[in-house]
Amino acid sequence: MAIEQIKMPQLGESVTEGTINQWLVSVGDKVSKYDPLAEVTTDKVNSEVPSSFDGVIKELIAQEGETYEVGAVILTIETEGGGSAAPEAPAALAAEAPATPAASTPAPAAAAPVAKTDNGGARYSPAVLKLSQEHGIDLSQVTGTGAGGRITRKDLNALIESGNIPKAGAAPVAPVQETAPAAAAAPAPQAAAPKAAAATNVPVVPGDIEIPVSGVRKAIAANMLKSKHEAPHAWTMIEVDVTNLMSFRNSLKADFKKKEGFNLTPFAFFVKAVAQALKEFPMINSMWAGDKIVQKKDINLSIAVATEDALYVPVIKNADEKTIKGIAREIGELAGKVRSGKLSGADMSGGTFTVNNTGSFGSIQSNGIINHPQAAILQVESIVKRAVVMDNGMIAVRDMVNLCMSLDHRVLDGLVCGNFLKRVKEILENTSKENTSVY
């Protein structure tokens, strides 16, 4: 028999850590290659970690609700082949995991107080052990709310806040539940905990509703905070007349939907225009890398798709090589994956510039936060009918839209961004039945 390791995968180009949301297996389970082992949450996506081997689950090293760096060992599998593994092999393998605060190896069961779990084990994360020691908590007297009865940091924090700290010889104590049990399925990433702790002193009075912050929301918050702290944001806006574009699109949409089976949205025209302009202004398609600026060859456009409690940014790869029809199809497919929970890490990786359809909410002007480590984000606002003074002095009702652009001033300056927006405006205002094909 041989012992194989499963490590925290990199679920995205800029992802450096992930949170174990839920184990899908237990110690002793037989698994086949590609079987899902765990659900993992990152700042970009929720995904399943598949098995790389056929074998039996030997040890679950990572704890639910804890955050681990990419490459950290999260579990071990016993496979056929090789010599017999010594009884201490799982612990020895765990000790080889990267020594980071978020992914430290849990103490061996013999060294930890006994805890009740479904598999009879007694494993506590380093954070739980440290917290229990600091506050004199007898872990054997705590009833855990994690999978299999595991004790989590949230359990201990609830006890500490309530003042009901169990001592040796006392009756078992269940942590105070501030929210419905379902909320425990979305723990917050450990990396964001210090920021959350600094903002917890909020008075709560009768009638207030306390909403638990999900792991996805915590990860989004951490990434947005990083972007605002690191990138000096600047902002600019341009007004575009899309009367001819809307007339062209409206003349096609019914037949297009009947023929192709999906919608021809105005957003597809905007994405295509941005992709074309990025080819002409490649500096916009860049990223800050500390001692250098990386100008990306591929034009991969991230598009923001919102759910009720989170925002995802799937990527349209090589958007400059696609037709308006192809872009419309991909927008629909990616949005469908987000809302059905089937978005993969591959769908989220490789983005070089973000286009956000804020107009879908009725917004007419907004200031977006850059999708780190990209250098800019473009907000497409709501298309509204307005009275406009034309070049000949006449007043006409036109379809107008604002394009709002946030830029990283370390990478981009106003001149190049102004010329880029001017080119996007030119492309959109010249989109018509005579000048444009969707195929």
State the pLDDT at residue 127.
63
pLDDT computed for residue 171 by the predictor: 58
- What's the pLDDT score for residue 189? 40
Same structural domain, 239 and 113? no
Q: Which member of 118, 255, 298, 409 is catalytic?
A: 409
Q: Quote the CA–CA distance of 121 and 112 in Å, as a whole number.
A: 10
The answer to the question of residue 254 being in a domain is yes
Which residues lie closer than 8 Å to 160 by C-beta, 6 or more apart?
Answer: 131, 135, 137
The CA dihedral of 246, 248, 249, 250, to the nearest 10 degrees, is 80
Pairing of strands 2-7, 73-79: antiparallel
How many whole angstroms separate alpha carbon 177 and alpha carbon 236?
Answer: 46
Do 173 and 59 share a structural domain? no
Residue 399 catalytic? no
> Is residue 356 in a domain?
yes
**Residue 423 sits in a domain of what CATH number?**
3.30.559.10
Are 235 and 176 found together in one domain?
Answer: no
Residue 371, domain member (yes or no): yes
One digit per residue, the tens of pLDDT, for the chain of length 439 reads: 899 999 998 876 667 788 898 898 999 999 998 888 998 887 666 678 889 899 999 999 999 888 888 889 999 999 986 443 333 333 333 333 333 333 333 333 333 333 333 334 445 655 677 677 777 888 878 887 765 566 776 777 778 877 777 766 555 555 544 433 333 333 334 433 334 345 568 899 999 998 888 777 777 788 888 899 999 999 999 999 999 999 999 999 999 999 999 999 999 999 999 999 999 999 999 999 989 999 999 999 999 887 776 778 899 999 999 999 999 999 999 999 888 888 888 898 899 999 999 999 899 999 999 998 999 999 999 999 999 999 999 999 999 999 999 999 999 999 999 999 999 999 999 999 999 999 9
The pLDDT value given to residue 169:
57
Domain that holds residue 92: 1-104
Tell me: do 31 and 119 sit in the same domain. no
Number of domains comprising the chain:
3
pLDDT at residue number 272: 98
267 and 381 in one domain?
Answer: yes
- What phi and psi, each to the nearest 5 degrees, are found at residue 356? -115, 125
439 falls within a domain? no
- Asked if residue 10 and residue 141 are part of one domain, the reply reads no
Answer yes or no: do 283 and 403 share one domain: yes
Catalytic residue among 118, 298, 309, 413: 413
Name the pTM for this structure.
0.61
408 assigned to active site: no
The pLDDT assigned to 417 comes to 97
Q: Is residue 99, in this structure, part of any structural domain at all?
A: yes
Q: Point out which residues pair with 414 in neighbouring strands.
A: none
**Residue 86 is which amino acid?**
A
Torsion angle in degrees (nearest 10) through CA of 12, 15, 21, 23: 70
> Which pLDDT value is given to residue 107?
37
Q: Are residues 51 and 140 in the same domain?
A: no
- Collapsed DSSP state (helix, strand, coil) of residue 129: helix
Residue 140, SS3 per DSSP:
helix
Together in a domain, 26 and 53: yes
Task: Classify residue 85 as exposed, middle or buried by CB count within 10 Å of its CB (0-12, 13-18, 19+).
Answer: middle
